[in-house]
Structure 1
Amino acid sequence: MVTAGVLAGLVVIGAATVVAWRVLAPAEVVTPSGYQPSPPTAEPGPVARLSAAPLLVDGRFRVYATTRQVRADGPIDMRTQVTPAWSFRRWPEQVTGVVATGTTVVTRWSDGELVAIDAVSGEVAWRAAGPQPNDTGYAGRRTGAQTVYAPAGLHTVVSGADGRVIVLAQGGSQLAGFDAATGRRLWQATLPGQGDACRDAGFSTTGGQFALVNSCAAPPAVEFYEVAGGELTSTWQPEGAGPGLAVEPLGCAVARSRCAALRTTGAGESRGWLVDGPEPEPAAALDPVDAMLVDGMAVRLDADATDPAVVAQVVRTGEQAWRWPLPTAVAPGPETTGDRLLAVQPGRVHLLTAARELVTLDATTGAELSRFVLIMPSERMTDWAPGYVYTQDGFVAVERLRLPVDPDADDGGYYWIQETVIVAGT
């Protein structure tokens, strides 16, 4: 005979089990609001101070990533973060990367799942099973910048075969390509040899390839995979490359995607190469380790010259296209850093001066487009160093880090302030 006490106990246990299941069971929550941000209207200057790093989509949305959620707000020039236009959350999986193409936001999760969100409606557009990521946890720290600006193993590329946009997902020894419009898996390839044990983070090229450095080769080599079908098409060893070969992609879109060039370093030298065709082509103008590529121009900061300047050369000819004299130098001290070439984007070159002025130059002519101190009206101090930098549609977003920069510090000691990401129109 079951007593009242036993029955009560069973009821409590049953209720606790239901609560635990609801809390711990795998779950997915899509929350569209129907809100449609307007296009930005701000003049050049700082427009927003945010606690999270925004990925700008469709000229209207700001997309953010946290440990288990991707969300969007807008407009782009809204001064602070506001109620999301939509959000997407999974449990217990974690976000490992986010990329965008057109109005499609593709999220990657720790179980390898790819989930695409339509930025306009906030609804799931498609989902697909991809390779298990090498890093199965969220790596974005407090701002999410690494997750939305430099996700490991997640890239976009345009196929030279048919012009379609492909989402590339790499993990372990697997590399897979998905149609960005539908999520259909186009192919999946197995990397030769020891897979990820021998290879660093890859990148896609404007020549329709995916590049990986194979450090186990003797000497190390760059492998190029054709993105329409995933085949290994060539293995390239730069002349003079030694065991310390390192490769830096140049002229890329966000997420190390659609890169137009690369720079190899090793054996005491650095060399630039264009990768917009089937084979790497030498580009001496990109040899300097600080040179950036935009609109066919190699741009660098010539700070050691008698008349310091930002200099641009035509990449294919080496001819100097323009020279912009630096403003009166402010000597860097313990609470600041010197002039630096901050970033480039189509049509624009961005310089950050020691006085924390953001100067934007026309990439083709060197004409000054805008200049202002990169602080919000409520801020006074400029004692910060730039962390992740992101450019899109004429905007610049900059993580601001505490000086001296200590990557091993906790978030309170690493970031300059709570709302550490500043967004400016140029």
Structure 2
Amino acid sequence: MGLARGRRRIAAAVAALVGVGAVGVVVHRVLAPAEVDTPARAAYPAVVTPAIGVVGRLPVAPLIVDGRLRVYAATRQVYADQPVDARYRVTPYWSYRRWPAEVSGVVADGTTVVSRWSDGKLVALDARTGRVAWQVDGPAPAEGWTARRTGAGAVWDPPGLFLTRAADGRAGLVVSGPDGMGGFALADGRRLWSADVDGGCRTDVGTTAAGQFVAVDRCAGPAVVEFRDAATGAPTNRWVPPGATAGLTVTPVGCVTPRSRCRGLRTSGPAGGAGRGWLVGDGAPVAAPALDRAGVELDGERAVEAAGGVVTGRSARSGAELWRRADLGPTRIVAVQPGRVHLLTEANDLVTLDPSSGAQRSRFPMTAGRDGLGWSPGLAYAQGGYVAVERLREPVAPDADDQRYFLVAEPVVLAAT
């Protein structure tokens, strides 16, 4: 009798250990770091030529990649769909996930899509297949996912993640964090340089079309605009703009992609005080008076401003007027891309002008379905002839939750211009 009881106790103990082990295996599988790359199964799509007008509406913000794909970001995922002119978001063409790290930002150049993660990992995906091209450790960001529901903050304004191109044409990447920064070759992820920095007294600005990385440095005294060679990390200039104060703000303008490969800067004092515009190239910044006012955008060396119901194109260097449009009514510039400036009218018509002449390329209501035109624009993006705009519920309440902040469940309108 006692022997039987002993056997039962031993059996119960073994069963309990097996149960605990099974739970441990499940917990490990669920919580252990993981990486899931789901490559494309279909052929790489062709470039499409969409009809001018609204393409569709989306719940999340896209990056237009190679004129063929739309790439999106979520808290722990980067994924793509196609065709680029699909009216709605469709089943992913490819997908890449990591756990437990979070996406900090995503950029794309050609067919390379680079994501930055909260643990500092940089992961490059081949847009044609969705497969990992390279993966390296970079400076960790201050935070992981900080974007709102659409993910626009991660793909249209990725913190600390900047594209660059050297004088010989080689594409690169500058990555900045609170404790360090570095340069990487886009082709293979090779680290080109690194530097220890104090992110608490520095503010990233962006990269220039001449291959420099720009930041505002307040670490050793008065604010200084620091220029570094983006390919080597070597400081090339420390510039104090005229009238600079401790509250100096520097805004990039004329960028090919968000805060990357920019041709101009605007410097201003605290709280948006009087500004000064500058063109940036290989040498010292050159005064560009046509860029002095906030809201003026830059295409090449042409400054475009919408104010008082008039849209004006000027020479950025001299301020000389090149063209004028007074027939559009009150408008605001929402996005610029090479050869196109995009404006919204009071009725939320999207008007696209040629910045060299002011000639109208297209005009149409920026609406999809029956959503209507009673909304305010949020973040916007332009690439490859496309424009995407977040639609915000009026009156705009920046501190409200996403359901109140955005107009509808699919707040992003994508249009071809």
Specify the TM-score bucket, using the shorter chain as the normaliser: over 0.9
Q: CA RMSD in A?
A: 1.4
Trace 1:4-153 onto structure 2 (pairs within 5 A): 4-35=11-42, 36-135=44-143, 137-153=144-160
Pair 1:295 & 2:286 matched: no
SS of 2:199's equivalent in the other structure is helix
Structure exhibiting the larger radius of gyration computed from Cα positions: 2
User: What's the counterpart of residue 204 of structure 1?
Assistant: 207
Pair 1:269 & 2:274 matched: yes
User: What's the counterpart of residue 170 of structure 1?
Assistant: 176
Distance in structure 1 (CA, Å) of the matches to 2:92 and 2:126:
14
User: What's the counterpart of residue 372 of structure 1?
Assistant: 364
Q: Is the 8 A contact 2:69 2:82 kept in 1?
A: yes
* TM-score normalised according to structure 2 size: 0.95
**Structure 1 unaligned regions, length at least 5:** 330-337
Trace 1:240-279 onto structure 2 (pairs within 5 A): 240-266=243-269, 268-279=273-284
Moved over 4 A (4+): none
Q: Is the 8 A contact 2:205 2:250 kept in 1?
A: no
Distance in structure 2 (CA, Å) of the matches to 1:163 and 1:189:
23
User: What's the counterpart of residue 334 of structure 1?
Assistant: none
User: What's the counterpart of residue 332 of structure 1?
Assistant: none
Distance in structure 2 (CA, Å) of the matches to 1:181 and 1:79:
33
**Structure 2 unaligned regions, length at least 5:** 1-5
Q: In structure 2, what residue type is equivalent to 1:373?
A: P
Moved more, 294-303 or 71-80: 294-303
Distance in structure 2 (CA, Å) of the matches to 1:102 and 1:395:
16
Distance in structure 1 (CA, Å) of the matches to 2:128 and 2:85:
18
Q: Identify the match of residue 418 of structure 1 among 385, 409, 417.
A: 409
- Render the CA deviation track for 1:105-133: whole Å, top value 9, x for unaligned: 01111110101000001110011110111
Q: Is the 8 A contact 1:150 1:254 kept in 2?
A: no
Pair 1:285 & 2:290 matched: yes
Distance in structure 2 (CA, Å) of the matches to 1:349 and 1:290:
12
SS of 1:7's equivalent in the other structure is helix
Q: In structure 2, what residue type is equivalent to 1:340?
A: R
Tell me by how many angstroms 1:380 deviates. Answer: 4.6
Q: Is the 8 A contact 2:340 2:352 kept in 1?
A: yes
- Render the CA deviation track for 1:327-346: whole Å, top value 9, x for unaligned: 3x4xxxxxxxx621222111
Tell me by how many angstroms 1:64 deviates. Answer: 0.3
User: What's the counterpart of residue 375 of structure 2?
Assistant: 384
Aligned length: 407
Q: In structure 2, what residue type is equivalent to 1:183?
A: G
Q: In structure 2, what residue type is equivalent to 1:423?
A: L
Distance in structure 1 (CA, Å) of the matches to 2:19 and 2:355:
69
User: What's the counterpart of residue 315 of structure 1?
Assistant: 316
- Render the CA deviation track for 1:188-219: whole Å, top value 9, x for unaligned: 1223xxx1010123311112111111134543
Pair 1:183 & 2:194 matched: no
Tell me by how many angstroms 1:254 deviates. Answer: 2.4
Tell me by how many angstroms 1:295 deviates. Answer: 2.7
Distance in structure 1 (CA, Å) of the matches to 2:327 and 2:398:
30
Q: Is the 8 A contact 2:263 2:300 kept in 1?
A: no
Distance in structure 1 (CA, Å) of the matches to 2:140 and 2:202:
16
Distance in structure 2 (CA, Å) of the matches to 1:84 and 1:418:
19
- Render the CA deviation track for 1:11-30: whole Å, top value 9, x for unaligned: 21111111000000000000
Q: Is the 8 A contact 1:189 1:231 kept in 2?
A: no
Distance in structure 2 (CA, Å) of the matches to 1:203 and 1:122:
27
Tell me by how many angstroms 1:290 deviates. Answer: 1.6
| 1:112 to 1:103, Cα distance in 2 relative to 1, 3 A | same
Distance in structure 2 (CA, Å) of the matches to 1:41 and 1:350:
19
Over the matched positions of the two proteins, sequence identity in percent amounts to 50
